[in-house]
Structure 1
Amino acid sequence: MANYIHVPESAPVVPKLDVTVDEHDYRIGALKLIKELRPHWKPSEVKMKCFTDGITNKLIGCCVGGVIQDMVLVRIYGNKTELFVDRENEVKSFQVLQAHRCAPRLYCTFNNGLCYEFLEGTALEPEHIRNPAIFRLIARQLAKYHAIHAHNGWVPQSNLWLKMGKFFSLVPSHFQDPEKNLRFNTEVPSTQCLRDELVWLQRNLSTLGSPIVLCHNDLLCKNIIYNEAEGHVKFIDYEYAGYNYQAFDIGNHFNEFAGVNEVDYSLYPGRSLQLQWLRAYLESYKEHKGLGREVSNTEVEVLFIQVNRFALASHFLWGLWALIQAQYSTIDFDFLGYAVLRFSQYFKMKPEVMALNFPE
């Protein structure tokens, strides 16, 4: 996918620094980066804070004198994440989104991570994204993303099925830890079952007619920064960004209403909230595409069905991802339990969303 994101020629060059930062003892490596990015800062005065929200990478905030507006964020890639994250694509997505004022500044990349600008605001929680004033901002910002042209005339294609196939091939066949292995064999669907579902998903979802757009693909609460004073939201973390089905990005976000650390799928948005969200989204999307702001009930209803069916693909993708993370990640998180939750919700939701009928 890396070659398909077209970075504008006007985009600033992103320097690559030959520095490796130890995720367990990060200060020395982080200071080498700060020396290049903020040469006027005294090393002894640099304070560092480790943010603990992420379950893919480690994030360190560096600042002097408590001035958070000038904070430099150092993100250290998680162990073996290069197996399933295209880092070149991530940087290109970052550059494209920055050019459209949708992303913070990317200062540099280094051997096992990248540094970028701190965005003022609040990283959201599940209760925030249910607030109509905030969810309309999120819907409109996502519509702005989806309207960005970053393909230089090429007809965009989704890499969802390729990515799922790659994730599937990386799923471990067993775990060394006996207790973990027992859970894996008794609680996770069999390899054959997962293979059959992957085939079923591609056959049933790729024919729904959802447009291929530039997607964030990982719009969980903590990746949404809300600036209340300025009345806007911005999205962060573009590791999984790329061309995909419009309905996947929205369905994936709706799944994230359930949270990550204490997952509760009763929080998945109901029909009424979804229809309000989708109408705000479509009005903004059509406006960005130069198609006016008029949105019919039929358009909203069609998107509603597409989104809820693609929410299945989101559960399946992150279920596979969690199994890979259970094998390789050094982050303290029950990835195996998370995989079980995602697959369970997939099978629970499947008959419900397949029973939805498109309007005549």
Structure 2
Amino acid sequence: MPLADEVAALLDRIPVLQGRSRAVAELPGGLTNQNLHVTTPEGDYVVRVFRGDAALLGIDRDAEHDNTGAAAEAGVGAPVVSYHPDLGCLVIGFLTGTTLDNDSFSDPAVLARAADACRRLHAGPRFTGDFDMFRRQATYLATVRERGYRLFDGYAGFDDSFQRVRRALAVRATPTVPCNNDLLAGNFVDDGERIWLIDYEYSGNNDACFELGNTATECDLDEDTVDALVAAYFGEPLRHLRARVRLQSLVSEYGWSLWGAIQASASSLDFDFDSWGQERFDKAAATFTSPRFERLLEEVVRDD
């Protein structure tokens, strides 16, 4: 069946879209979803069609549904319209606005709205499930080894350093908050007054500084912009908080690189997952071997 016919057949099984005239456009992005913008006389929707091996990547679709609803309740996410696990899709409201790119964060006003969006999410209802990149990294690494997938050269040599980061972050750990955990630029939607956050596949309660650190590395923020993000989120760029965010960037890079290693071997999508993962590992390796690594470990545990 042609793809267009498959999409039409799926939409015909979703009650809110049945029997209605509609226009359908595929939204860009979405390596583990196909995202469809569906326009009807009654309103605009996004149908997130699940694809890929959710279990292999540690995606819990029921938790994604719950947490998407919690984010909407927090006033930072799109409303949930309906959830169809039997059809492999989630229907949410369409958010009108501009999807950010990495360059967007150079605008102080955009950066301030992004920090505000994170604060609103983190102050919202608790999420279903927790997210700990240290546990996830161990699971991903076991998957890579058990299945014989290619591991980046030199990856295992940084395990001791990674555990040192874990111990350092535990010293001043704070209560976890509901986090998206995957805030690349395309998951920020800016309507000019506020920013909305989308895509809760990897959501779970986590350290707020992981959210900021992951955003910093995914959006390629430079050092000054990271400091500005920390200041915008916390109110002041305290040294131990800056160090915590930078170490969580490192945790993000080292852990998510294995997502790329798994996808490079397991996914049928025409995407260079190997380079995607290699880029993140190279970033992590650069920090592990930098003189500033020891300084960050010291600063994160000290009072300012």
If the TM-score is normalised by the length of the shorter chain, which range does it land in?
0.7 to 0.9
- Cα-to-partner distance string for 1:124-146 (whole Å, 9 max, x where unaligned): 11111221110000011101112
Tell me the CA shift for residue 151 of structure 1.
6.9
Structure ID, larger Rg: 1
Aligned partner of 1:264 in structure 2 is: none
Given candidates 19, 26, 31, the residue that maps to 2:11 is: 31
Change beyond 3 A, Cα 1:79–1:194: farther
- Which residue number corresponds to residue 234 of structure 2? 282
Q: TM-score, normalised by structure 2?
A: 0.86
Contact map agreement 1:216 1:242 (CA 8 A) in 2:
yes
CA 1:256–1:23 in structure 2 vs 1: closer, same or farther (change >3 Å)? farther
The partner residue of 2:204 within 242, 262, 271 is 242
Give the structure 1 partner of residue 52 of structure 2. Answer: 79
| Aligned equivalent of 1:93 | 67
Matched, 1:120 2:96: yes
Q: How many residues align?
A: 294
Determine whether 1:355 maps to 2:283.
Answer: no
Cα distance in 2 for residues equivalent to 1:330 and 1:25:
21
Aligned residue number for residue 5 of structure 1: none
Matched residue type, 1:71: D
Tell me the distance in 2 between the aligned counterparts of 1:32 and 1:189: 48
Q: Which residue of 1 aligns with 2:76?
A: 102
- Tell me whether 1:130 sits opposite 2:100 in the alignment: no
Matched AA of 2:31: I
Task: Output the CA distance in 2 between the equivalents of 1:29 and 1:138.
Answer: 38
Say which SS state the counterpart of residue 140 (structure 2) adopts. Answer: helix
Question: Identical aligned pairs, as a percentage?
Answer: 22
**In 1: Cα distance, 2:106 partner to 2:6 partner:** 36
Alignment of 1:47-86 (within 5 A): 47-64=23-40, 70-83=43-56, 84-86=58-60
Shift of 1:119: 0.3
Q: How far 1:167 moved relative to its partner?
A: 1.7
1:223-247 residue CA offsets vs partner (Å, 9 max, x unmatched): 000102xx11100001111111111
Residues 72 and 158 of structure 1: CA distance in aligned 2, closer, same or farther (over 3 Å): closer
Moved more, 79-88 or 156-165: 156-165
Q: Is the 1:23–1:58 Cα contact (8 Å) retained in structure 2?
A: no
Structure 2 CA distance for aligned equivalents of residues 164 and 25 of structure 1:
39
Post-superposition shift, 1:198? 4.7
Counterpart Cα distance in 1 of 2:50 and 2:11: 17
Give unmatched runs, 5+ long, in structure 2.
Answer: none
Q: 2:269 aligns with which of 331, 342, 350?
A: 331
| 2:66–2:127 Cα contact (<8 Å) kept | no
Give 1:287's aligned residue.
none
**Runs of 4+ residues deviating >6 angstroms:** 21-24
* Of 196, 201, 209, the match for 2:173: 209
Deviation at 1:306, TM superposition (A): 0.5
Task: Identify if the C-alpha distance between structure 1 residues 338 and 24 changes in structure 2 by more than 3 Å, giving closer, same or farther.
Answer: farther
Please list the CA deviations of residues 283-324 of structure 1 after superposition, one character each: whole Å capped at 9, or x if unmatched.
3xxxxxxxxxxx5x6xx2221110001111000121011111
Determine if contact 2:12/2:19 at 8 Å carries over to the other structure: no
Partner in structure 1 of residue 280 of structure 2: 342
Supply the AA of the counterpart residue of 2:294. Answer: M
RMSD: 2.7
Q: Which whole-Å CA distance do the structure 2 matches of 1:55 and 1:107 have between them?
A: 22
Query: Aligned ranges for residues 194-343 of structure 1 at < 5 Å?
Result: 195-196=159-160, 198-228=162-192, 231-258=193-220, 268-271=221-224, 273-283=225-235, 295=236, 300-343=238-281
In structure 2, do the counterparts of structure 1 residues 23 and 195 end up closer, same or farther at CA, with 3 Å as the change threshold?
farther
Q: 2:249 and 2:203 mapped to 1: Cα distance?
A: 17
Contact 2:261 2:273 in 1 (8 A): yes
